[in-house]
Structure 1
């Protein structure tokens, strides 16, 4: 290469880059998770990132932050304020802030995360998204974990009265209100606090889906009480900083939209169902004693939950949702179709 050619090469490269429309330009999304790297939700978020990179032909990529930018309850505001571009959180970690989301947290909805998550996403898109309850962020998807279970360390729970004698960690949302009506002694704490609370005896048990015994290292748990369709579910929002989304090119926005919504909800749900099933297999080898709540226990929960559904209908309609009770019925019907 001649000296003249060498000097011209950078300018030629710049011209080629400009002619290609800046094809080498790249947007990096800072992605945060507060759950362990091997957790199904973290892995689903990573799969979404891979889909985004593929759909945008590499113009948008994710940078997985080495640690969470906030404690779990502060994650929504952290994404809103730009401390991270993408993350997810539990709506119930900030009690009273979100009302519509509680519809996905009621008991007896479904036996898999897939059924409740996909149904929830469809109802969310149809009724809740237009009302903007998650304002401040770009909602990418909503989902739930698998059916909620009562896990205890020292003794089984076979009735509402037995549960009232123990102390439990809970994650918030409808189960928080239900526990109060049931007269149970519960404390609202993030999932990540569970190991310390149970290992030190501060709490006697926790309400969790199956997978959490492994992801939260709860080997001290010896008993599980399950319910048909779950004692509760937990609603999650998967979100993106709004300003970051707005800064993208139209084709990049379209690509992200394509792999979000129900597509992303199914990613998170599949991860949860897979790890729930794996945990149940492990529980067989570790000797966790599982039992289904009897009819009397289930009926006690149903009686109290009916009051909460009336309360939710009134609160949701006060925030602008029309015919909230019909929306709830439609959601339940959708979960049944997806079983």
Structure 2
């Protein structure tokens, strides 16, 4: 009789284990751009398909673009932390003050243009200096937007004089400081608000990556696009991150955790970089040549000189917030192509 009960218990345990192994885990993935964006179509969707393939369908994604879970882009990081979403793709700088160490990667002329060049630097900086910014998250990727350019309506920007009194959209606190140093007036707003704001004359243009130009239809309301000299650091970057709720990750079976692990970190950063740079190239190529405004080497050097105080002021401010600003700035410079 005892053996019979043991046999039944064993059979139930085996059945339960098998059922658990076949359970489908759906990951709610939220972000701030449209479903048609490069980020969703060429990176997030293929990444989710890879997880589904390697897990034999046990891992699936349910995507929520354009803030469909509610809230604003500034709340995305909190949505992942609180479990409203399982995974978010966001810009840490949208959540002002919550990721202070990562701001060093967004300082003026700090990173090379192009995601393939910039992403490895950003990941190394995250690993060496900024892990504490992301406590409570399972970090899947920390990468960049490939560098921002100036897109304007009706006025070409080729030098410092052209920037005087222009109202330009800024994506972050550090981008705003850059624009101020260059003589422009920054207006902070997420990508979704840029096009309408330019069309209504609220701002004259935007400091933005080419990656957001087509999906936000920025190209329909701007007609001048400034281009820095080839091989030089970008005006500035927006750092982006794919963050997972740590409790959700911990709740998954170990084999599914392993699938997410091997498709994240540098592997996911490379996926972002390849799709990102290809998209940037296509966006630029689709722009009429007469709309491109070349910044000469002397004018570019003058812009860098005007913006130089921003980094040192940031280090002082960071130290005032309890961080070692000098260590963070020196670390960023050592990893990057920025000013020494």
CA 1:202–1:78 in 2, change beyond 3 Å: closer, same or farther?
same
Shift of 1:39: 1.3
Rounded to whole Å, the distance in 2 between the matches of 1:114 and 1:326 is 22
Pairing 1:282–2:272 present: no
Shift of 1:321: 7.4
Rounded to whole Å, the distance in 2 between the matches of 1:170 and 1:288 is 25
CA 1:66–1:207 in 2, change beyond 3 Å: closer, same or farther?
closer
Rounded to whole Å, the distance in 2 between the matches of 1:184 and 1:137 is 36
Contact 1:53-1:60 at 8 Å conserved across structures: yes
Contact 2:145-2:239 at 8 Å conserved across structures: yes
Runs of 5+ unmatched residues, structure 1: 1-12
1:162 maps to 162
Give the secondary structure class of the aligned counterpart of 2:31: coil
1:235-290 deviation per Cα after TM superposition (whole angstroms, max 9, x unaligned): 01110112211211222222211111111111222222121111111103xx5521
Shift of 1:300: 3.2
CA 1:17–1:304 in 2, change beyond 3 Å: closer, same or farther?
farther
Rounded to whole Å, the distance in 2 between the matches of 1:236 and 1:268 is 10
Spell out the pairing of 1:108-147 with structure 2 (5 A cutoff): 108=109, 109-129=111-131, 132-147=132-147
Indicate which of 18, 29, 32 corresponds to 2:30.
32
Shift of 1:54: 2.9
CA 1:308–1:260 in 2, change beyond 3 Å: closer, same or farther?
same
Rounded to whole Å, the distance in 1 between the matches of 2:65 and 2:14 is 36
Indicate which of 258, 266, 272 corresponds to 1:262.
266
Runs of 5+ unmatched residues, structure 2: 1-10
Contact 1:143-1:235 at 8 Å conserved across structures: yes
Contact 1:152-1:221 at 8 Å conserved across structures: yes
Spell out the pairing of 1:210-249 with structure 2 (5 A cutoff): 210-218=210-218, 219-227=220-228, 228-249=232-253
CA 1:247–1:34 in 2, change beyond 3 Å: closer, same or farther?
same
1:216-235 deviation per Cα after TM superposition (whole angstroms, max 9, x unaligned): 11212111112232211110
Contact 1:211-1:277 at 8 Å conserved across structures: no
Contact 1:148-1:233 at 8 Å conserved across structures: yes
Q: TM-score, normalised by structure 1?
A: 0.85
Contact 1:29-1:86 at 8 Å conserved across structures: yes
Structure 1 segments, 4+ long, off by >6 Å, are: 13-16
Contact 1:91-1:173 at 8 Å conserved across structures: no
Aligned length: 318
Spell out the pairing of 1:23-102 with structure 2 (5 A cutoff): 23-43=21-41, 44-65=43-64, 68=67, 69=69, 70-102=71-103
1:10 maps to none
Q: TM-score, normalised by structure 2?
A: 0.85
Shift of 1:27: 1.4
